[in-house]
Amino acid sequence: MDILYLLIPLSALLVLGLLAVFAWALHGGQFDDLEQQGEQILLDDRAPD
């Protein structure tokens, strides 16, 4: 039962850390244009040899 006094704050810190990383990614523009990356793999920009 004493382990809960350790695990609950650690899990709360983990959740806060994950939220901070997600907010950093949102602020950094990581999710601005999701369709461009999906279309980029379908288009072949190389010139034929």
pLDDT digits (tens, 9 = 90+) for 14-41: 999 999 999 999 999 888 887 877 787 7
Specify the 3-state DSSP secondary structure of 3.
coil
The model's confidence at residue 5, banded by pLDDT at 50, 70 and 90, is very high
What is the structure's pLDDT at 19? 98
Contact 36, 42 (CB under 8 A): no
The model's confidence at residue 6, banded by pLDDT at 50, 70 and 90, is very high
Which of 23, 45, 26 lies closest to 34, judged by CA?
Answer: 26
**Angle at CA of residue 29, ends 26 and 35, nearest 5°:** 105
Q: Using the predicted structure, report yes or no on whether residue 9 has a pLDDT greater than 70.
A: yes
> What mean pLDDT is predicted for residues 1-25?
96
DSSP symbol at 32: S
The reported pTM is: 0.64
